[in-house]
């Protein structure tokens, strides 16, 4: 999943996710917003044929947004790798 960072500040991150569907983005947004150290997380789909979705995350206090994002993505990955059929 290629990512293009647009803005990276102390507790805010704005980035584009190249070629991802709303399913993955909704899951990521939900997990982020349920985390106690997230102040706000959302994505904006833009034009379906012209724009890649843009994600915005803001953390509370001194929590590193990059560290928190990596942690949540790893948790989602573990959930999928634990699936057995």
Give the model confidence (pLDDT) of 32-78 as tens digits.
999 999 999 999 887 777 778 899 999 998 888 999 999 999 998 88
pLDDT, residue 60, reads 92
Burial category of 83 from C-beta neighbours within 10 Å (exposed 0-12, middle 13-18, buried 19 and up): exposed
**Chain length of the chain:** 85
For 50, the domain range is: 3-81
Number of domains, the chain: 1
Q: % helix / strand / coil in the chain, to the nearest 5?
A: 35, 30, 35
- pLDDT of 30-41, one tens digit each? 999 999 999 999
Q: Residue 51 has what DSSP assignment?
A: -
pLDDT of residue 50: 79
Q: Mean per-residue pLDDT for 3-25?
A: 87
4: DSSP letter? E
pLDDT given at position 18: 86
E-strand ranges in 1-85 read 3-8, 12-17, 38-44, 54-59
The enclosing domain of 25 has a CATH number of: 3.30.1360.10
pLDDT of residue 10: 86
Residue 81: its pLDDT value, please? 87
């Amino acid at each position: 999943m290629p990512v293009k960072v647009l803005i990276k500040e102390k507790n805010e991150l704005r980035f584009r996710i190249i070629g991802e569907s709303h399913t993955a983005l909704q899951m990521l947004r939900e997990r982020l917003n349920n985390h106690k150290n997230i102040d706000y997380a959302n994505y904006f789909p833009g034009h379906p044929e012209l724009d890649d979705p843009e994600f915005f995350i803001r953390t509370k206090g001194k929590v590193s947004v990059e560290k928190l994002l990596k942690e949540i993505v790893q948790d989602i990955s573990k959930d999928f790798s634990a699936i057995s059929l």
